[in-house]
Amino acid sequence: MFPDRKRELWRPEAFLLLAAGILLVSIWVAMLFIDENPKASRVYYVSDADKAALIESGEAQSLIININTADKETLMKLPDIGPVTAERIISYREENGNFSSVDELVNIKGISERMIEEISIFITV
């Protein structure tokens, strides 16, 4: 006469809801631990003395790019600098004159302080 309450709890719909809930919680927990931009977490710190030594050495000279004279293709050799960002660097340089320091790159859309720290070993003014 009365429905068996125990049987109602074990219906297939209940298992599907439980499985969906576990899946959603698992995805949420995984997203907490996934680094959205793993490249951004690698920051290279180079002292001014090391950078000066690289600039002065003949072999490393080809690695250093002058952002005041480099063309689009040369700028694109830098890590994380694509065609759009390279064009923005050139446009900024044409509108505002030569860069007085590498830190001035932060004024360009798409370039963060972290990115400047990462590429600073490869650039000079």
- Domain CATH for 104: 1.10.150.280
Convert the pLDDT of each residue in 41-97 to its tens digit: 444 455 667 666 666 665 555 567 888 888 888 888 887 888 898 999 999 999 998
- Which pLDDT score is estimated for 41? 44
Do 115 and 64 sit in the same domain of this protein?
yes
Task: Report pTM.
Answer: 0.51
- How far apart, in whole angstroms, are the C-alpha atoms of residue 78 and residue 68? 14
- Which pLDDT score is estimated for 94? 92
* Containing structural domain, residue 14: 7-34
Do 66 and 25 sit in the same domain of this protein?
no
Do 112 and 73 sit in the same domain of this protein?
yes
Look at 49 and 104; give whichever has higher pLDDT: 104
- C-alpha distances (whole Å) from 83 to each of 7, 32, 75, 100, 124 are 63, 32, 8, 23, 19
Structure-block tokens of residue 100: 């007085």
Do 45 and 20 sit in the same domain of this protein?
no
